[in-house]
Structure 1
Amino acid sequence: MLADRVRMSSYRRTKHLIDRTTPVTVVNQPYSTGGNGGRKLVRLSNGWLVACMFNSTDTSIYLYVSKDSGATWSLLTSRSVGTSGKAYSMVSAGTTVYVIWRQSNKFIISGYIDVVRGSSLIGIQVSDTDMAGTAHDTCSLAINTQKAELHACWSSKIETYPNSFNIRYCKGIINPDGSVTWGSVEQVTEYSYTWLDIMQPTIIVKDNSPVIIVKSIGIAKGIAGDYIRGILCYSKAGSTWDHTNIYYTGERGLEQSNPTACVDTDGVIHVAWHGTDAQYPTYNRVRYSKSTDGGMTWNTHQIVNTLLAVYPSISVDTSGNISIVYITQGNNMYYMQFRDTIKTPTQLSTNFLYGDPSSLQDLSIDVEGFPPTAYMLYNKSPITQLSVQFEGKWYE
């Protein structure tokens, strides 16, 4: 711990502090940053920030850029995606941003834009075999440490397995011109039960291998009874996908939802989600667990808050500080920063209501308090969304 403090102190003496603890408006529109399994905020190699959000009115995703560390924001580009809602995710490499989204409730599309020189997202189809209509859930995108590979996953139904939502995965190679060559789509899970769905994936990359965290929900106990209500981790052993249980309730009705994940500089995987338990079967609480062996085993989970908290967004900085931002009953927003043991959370201003935080995951910065985060801001009375806001404090 002393070595950690010395390293962090030395790092901060040589870096510049960015203080955006006074919230900054990204856009004065009721756009959504929802879907915390896929990141909505990235930082480029030149320090610029890019935020991605969804406009339900014209069913488009909008990208906004800040060239001054979050002090001001301007529209970068937009793209019509149909009624895909929360099914979009973003990463960056150099000054290029990569986005995946579900187009018109059927195709998975990958797009990229050089933020310095580009003016529009250049898109390519990744998958066209998913069932049309409402058989679609969220998606998630990650990039390896070398910034050479994209790893995408999503939850959907296909004709081969029409009764269950399953996880699908695809790997893309980034070409010298910034474009992406996508490989074949892999079927991670292969269930087709009317009582079982694998949903809400979030993907990270550990040692150049994909690790996918998912929500499992079963309506009634059946053949695969082990899958009733839990948060699972899928990883590859050779060419085979297998899973471990991060948190398995063992009881019906105790739903676990909205996992969010990150990996630190030591390769430790950190996961947060919200769910109920036997003690409080009707109240969601935010939970945290970690794995030091690539997802093979998981620490006993810790409770982040007391009662009624949802939609966490987890991130970790270059010094190993873990941050979790989440929403509580009444749409208040809290955050905490810790290493190994959960600490007392801090509440943001009570003058407004909040929704769907998406924090920046960037191992080149050192967070001081509230992590760089994009979120939805609401008026208290009447309850209406006002804008998308940005806030945070960090060293870079």
Structure 2
Amino acid sequence: MKTQISTTYSKGSLVQSNIAAEDGTYPANGRHTDGFWYVKGEAVGPLGPGVIINKQYNLRGNESRRLIRLANGTLIATVQTYDAGNTHIFAYKSTDEGRTWTSLNNIYSRFNNGGNTSDMYWSIVALGNEFGIVAQAEYNKTVDFIRFTENGVTVKRTPIYGGNPSATLLCKGVSIAIDPQNQNFMYVAWSIKDNNSHNLFYSKTTDGGITWSAQEKLTSYNTAGQGYLYPSIVWVNGKPVIISYIESTVNSQYVIHCHYWDGSKWLSKNASPTDATTVALKKSAPSAVVDKNGVIHVTWDGPTPSSVKNNIHYISSADGGYTWTSYTALTNVSGLLLAVEPSITADKNNTLYIMYAGTDSQETTYRDIRLLKKQSGGNWIDTKIADEGVTLSNPSTLYDPSFKLSFGDTPPTMYRSSSGIKFVGTVSTNTAPSITLLSPENNLTLYENDTINISGDAYDADKDQSVTVFYQINGEQRKVLATNVSQTQITLSKQLTFKDGKLYDGETVLTGTLTEGVAHILKVWAVDSENGQSATIERTFYVVPNRAPLLSVDAVVPTGVIDSDKFKISGTSSDQDANSTVKVTKKVNAKNSVEIYSGPGGAWEFDVSLAELVVGENTIVIEVIDNYGAKTSKTIKLKKNEIKTPILHAVARYKITPPAGSAKGVLLFIERNEDMDLKVELSMTLAGEQEQYETLTADNTAPMPNTNGIVEDTFYFETTEPKDNIILKISTTRPDATVNHKIHLISGAVE
């Protein structure tokens, strides 16, 4: 006999995290052959440091981008070097997220008058699977744009500014920004010495760099010792913003400055505090970035009024450069310590990163590469990223203006070491899930008990992810619509019911009371386990809450004076809503409700007998209820009076039925009070004939024995032939209510 044992395994408590493994070594989310349950984490590139080139090339400046990522995932890194007569830009590429690098060789050179220290300012930008470089030579003062293929082959070279080689060392920075929605649209900003001062210039292209507009001058300093330096241009909500550094040795003013385009003209504003005018607080070139929400973030290094040591500073603007936050010193070094050369970036999760070169209390003789990462609560965490026992410098971070990348703990960054140019950091590419909504239709109107059916599907092309589909009504809390693994067609199905003015999922209330006549919004979207989010699909709907049925009651006119009398109560019922039925009930005082009408609406009526009413006030409640439970009622109050008027004249009628069916004669004996006024009549007819009364006269009246004032009358009446319809009528009259005479006994016989 075999016994089959079924075992169910589940994930237990965490034993170890961040286990490095090649793809496919362990299950994505399941039990491995070693008995442990593994959950696949985020695929990452090298935390580094990796080597781009084992030569001590130059990265200089942090106002511009030296590292980019093409649409196909290729990383492009650029560096500067010199020889006896020229300054060169070399490019390198990596197709494995920075693990290994190959040279694209020299992509740009400029003659530098025979020296070997004349710098080049440059910035690169991703153009789909191609890239562009804008370069400015200090000696020549030219500004050129060159577009390359992924492999460094020149596509197009265009001069932006022809330069003026009559003087040297007059250029101070160049930067390029691209419209994420239209990669043919780019702006270039640069600083060049114009007469006595450095000023800002810009040019733009609308055809991907094939042609450029004539240069335009933004500033007009013309005093020696003053100038706008190191522009860093960013793209904010469809408009360019230029961040630069104003240095004035004339009045010791050192300010981070902003120029922003308002749609028709350039406006400018100091971004850093004006208290910098009181002391020589020189700043480094500002590094600027725009996050996913359009907020500009700027960092630089320099002393503060309270410290002469260089620290990392930070400001931001949420309105395109019009207003700025107060600056914050993110580091607080002193003595022999330094914090310099910051480069800022943001990923698709809106996480801010600032890489910088700095020393700490344990390492005061050389600088490491450090990271300031902004936490969700607003605090910045300072972490050492690279330590080689030598001074490291010029970190330059990767920025993706399309926000398709997440950077995890460390953003992709290149930096300079005595042994070469290094790469550190991680990048995660993730395809956002897609979603299709088949129903509901737009502008749907819901009536009582109508349903809104959410149907469609979602899909995520990435491997080994989970996908959650959410829906939300107006501003209510989001709800889970479906959850499944990626690379699976996820069917969406949910039915919500509108009743009592609210939306329900089964018996669960989803919303507050929805207002009639107002557009309400259903939103549906999908999010994967790497926070990739689909487009949000919206549907507008309206509601018409159930209206109470209508009830009218006709004027009530009670009739009758005795309990056996009756009167009618009537009215009509109706309902304004489609497909409604109503039920009308009555309730008299504390009795149970009784249905008096059921149907689509119409007239109703019922009888009320005086016997149903009590003496005093009576309450009659008439209620109409529709098939959705809405009610309307009306209350009728009636007062029943007790009538105690004495009766002075009374008539009693008695039918006499002979045992044989008919009789010719009737003998009567009536015992009464002696003073009673009594009249006796008798009608003897055949059945169907009209009654004919004969007044009877007593044949004899005699007192009753042993009584006081009671007598007995004897009456006899006879017809010629037998009759079967015999009626006795007795009438009595009393003079007033004080007289209380009565008949004590009626007896007799028939023959």
TM category (shorter chain) comes to: 0.7 to 0.9
The secondary structure found in structure 2 opposite 1:35 is coil
For residue 105 of structure 1, report the CA deviation from its aligned partner.
2.6
For residue 360 of structure 1, report the CA deviation from its aligned partner.
0.2
The secondary structure found in structure 2 opposite 1:331 is strand
> Is 1:89 aligned with 2:119?
no
For residue 22 of structure 1, report the CA deviation from its aligned partner.
2.3
Range moving further from structure 2, 54-63 or 234-243: 234-243
| Partner Cα separation in structure 1 for residue 198 and residue 319 of structure 2 | 28
| Higher RCO by CA contacts (8 Å cutoff, separation 6 or greater) | 1
Counterpart among 285, 296, 305 of residue 269 in structure 1? 296
> Is 1:341 aligned with 2:378?
yes
Counterpart among 206, 209, 212 of residue 173 in structure 1? 206
| AA in 1 matched with 2:420 | S
| Partner Cα separation in structure 2 for residue 285 and residue 121 of structure 1 | 42
Task: Check the 8 A contact 1:220/1:252 in 2, yes or no.
Answer: no
| Partner Cα separation in structure 2 for residue 167 and residue 298 of structure 1 | 21
> Is 1:149 aligned with 2:174?
no
1:74-223 equivalences in 2 (<5 Å): 74-78=102-106, 79-83=108-112, 85-103=119-137, 104-115=139-150, 119-120=153-154, 122-130=156-164, 132-146=167-181, 147-158=183-194, 162-175=195-208, 179-221=209-251
For this pair of structures, how many residues does the alignment match? 364
Q: Structure 1 residues 130 and 152 mapped into 2: Cα distance closer, same or farther (>3 Å)?
A: farther
Task: Check the 8 A contact 1:155/1:200 in 2, yes or no.
Answer: yes
1:64-75 equivalences in 2 (<5 Å): 64-75=92-103
Task: Check the 8 A contact 2:314/2:327 in 1, yes or no.
Answer: yes
The secondary structure found in structure 2 opposite 1:250 is helix
For residue 173 of structure 1, report the CA deviation from its aligned partner.
2.0
The secondary structure found in structure 2 opposite 1:59 is strand
Task: Check the 8 A contact 1:89/1:101 in 2, yes or no.
Answer: yes
| Partner Cα separation in structure 1 for residue 156 and residue 393 of structure 2 | 30
| AA in 2 matched with 1:170 | S
| Partner Cα separation in structure 2 for residue 374 and residue 349 of structure 1 | 11
Task: Check the 8 A contact 2:172/2:229 in 1, yes or no.
Answer: yes
Q: Structure 1 residues 375 and 121 mapped into 2: Cα distance closer, same or farther (>3 Å)?
A: farther
Task: Check the 8 A contact 1:130/1:156 in 2, yes or no.
Answer: no
Q: Structure 1 residues 153 and 22 mapped into 2: Cα distance closer, same or farther (>3 Å)?
A: same
| AA in 2 matched with 1:271 | V
| Partner Cα separation in structure 1 for residue 260 and residue 239 of structure 2 | 8
For residue 240 of structure 1, report the CA deviation from its aligned partner.
2.9
| Partner Cα separation in structure 1 for residue 164 and residue 260 of structure 2 | 22
Give TM-score scaled by structure 1 length.
Answer: 0.87
For residue 130 of structure 1, report the CA deviation from its aligned partner.
4.9
| AA in 2 matched with 1:198 | Y
Task: Check the 8 A contact 1:229/1:251 in 2, yes or no.
Answer: no
| AA in 2 matched with 1:344 | I
> Is 1:33 aligned with 2:59?
yes
Residue 242 of structure 1 is matched in structure 2 by 267
| Partner Cα separation in structure 2 for residue 22 and residue 250 of structure 1 | 42
Counterpart among 72, 75, 84 of residue 46 in structure 1? 72
For residue 16 of structure 1, report the CA deviation from its aligned partner.
5.6
| AA in 2 matched with 1:71 | R
Task: Check the 8 A contact 2:44/2:427 in 1, yes or no.
Answer: yes
| Partner Cα separation in structure 1 for residue 247 and residue 368 of structure 2 | 27
> Is 1:301 aligned with 2:327?
yes
Task: Check the 8 A contact 1:304/1:342 in 2, yes or no.
Answer: no
For residue 306 of structure 1, report the CA deviation from its aligned partner.
1.3
Residue 258 of structure 2 is matched in structure 1 by 233
The secondary structure found in structure 2 opposite 1:393 is coil
| Partner Cα separation in structure 1 for residue 41 and residue 158 of structure 2 | 38
Residue 372 of structure 1 is matched in structure 2 by 412
For residue 15 of structure 1, report the CA deviation from its aligned partner.
9.8
The CA deviation string for residues 230-250 of structure 1, in whole angstroms up to 9 with x for no partner, is 101111234432211211313
| Partner Cα separation in structure 2 for residue 269 and residue 194 of structure 1 | 31
| Partner Cα separation in structure 1 for residue 280 and residue 294 of structure 2 | 34
| Partner Cα separation in structure 2 for residue 313 and residue 130 of structure 1 | 31
The CA deviation string for residues 298-323 of structure 1, in whole angstroms up to 9 with x for no partner, is 11121111122111000000010000
Gaps in structure 1 of 5+ consecutive residues: 1-12, 222-226, 378-384
The secondary structure found in structure 1 opposite 2:292 is coil
| Partner Cα separation in structure 2 for residue 107 and residue 119 of structure 1 | 22
Give TM-score scaled by structure 2 length.
Answer: 0.47
Task: Check the 8 A contact 1:77/1:119 in 2, yes or no.
Answer: no
The CA deviation string for residues 195-247 of structure 1, in whole angstroms up to 9 with x for no partner, is 311101111011221101111111123xxxxx921101111234432211211
Task: Check the 8 A contact 1:42/1:361 in 2, yes or no.
Answer: yes
Residue 426 of structure 2 is matched in structure 1 by 393
| Partner Cα separation in structure 1 for residue 41 and residue 212 of structure 2 | 37
| AA in 1 matched with 2:98 | G
Task: Check the 8 A contact 1:34/1:357 in 2, yes or no.
Answer: no
The structure that has the greater radius of gyration is 2
Counterpart among 385, 394, 398 of residue 360 in structure 1? 398
| Partner Cα separation in structure 2 for residue 342 and residue 164 of structure 1 | 39
Q: CA RMSD in A?
A: 2.0
| Partner Cα separation in structure 2 for residue 16 and residue 349 of structure 1 | 22
| Partner Cα separation in structure 1 for residue 396 and residue 325 of structure 2 | 24
1:242-261 equivalences in 2 (<5 Å): 242-248=267-273, 249-261=276-288
| Partner Cα separation in structure 2 for residue 297 and residue 14 of structure 1 | 44
| Partner Cα separation in structure 2 for residue 332 and residue 311 of structure 1 | 11
| Partner Cα separation in structure 1 for residue 186 and residue 80 of structure 2 | 22
| AA in 1 matched with 2:302 | G
Task: Check the 8 A contact 2:87/2:120 in 1, yes or no.
Answer: no
Residue 670 of structure 2 is matched in structure 1 by none
Identity of aligned residues (%): 28
For residue 52 of structure 1, report the CA deviation from its aligned partner.
0.7
For residue 268 of structure 1, report the CA deviation from its aligned partner.
0.6
| Partner Cα separation in structure 1 for residue 61 and residue 111 of structure 2 | 16
| Partner Cα separation in structure 2 for residue 295 and residue 325 of structure 1 | 23
The CA deviation string for residues 113-148 of structure 1, in whole angstroms up to 9 with x for no partner, is 0115x5246421101255642211111111111212
For residue 174 of structure 1, report the CA deviation from its aligned partner.
2.8
| Partner Cα separation in structure 2 for residue 326 and residue 375 of structure 1 | 9
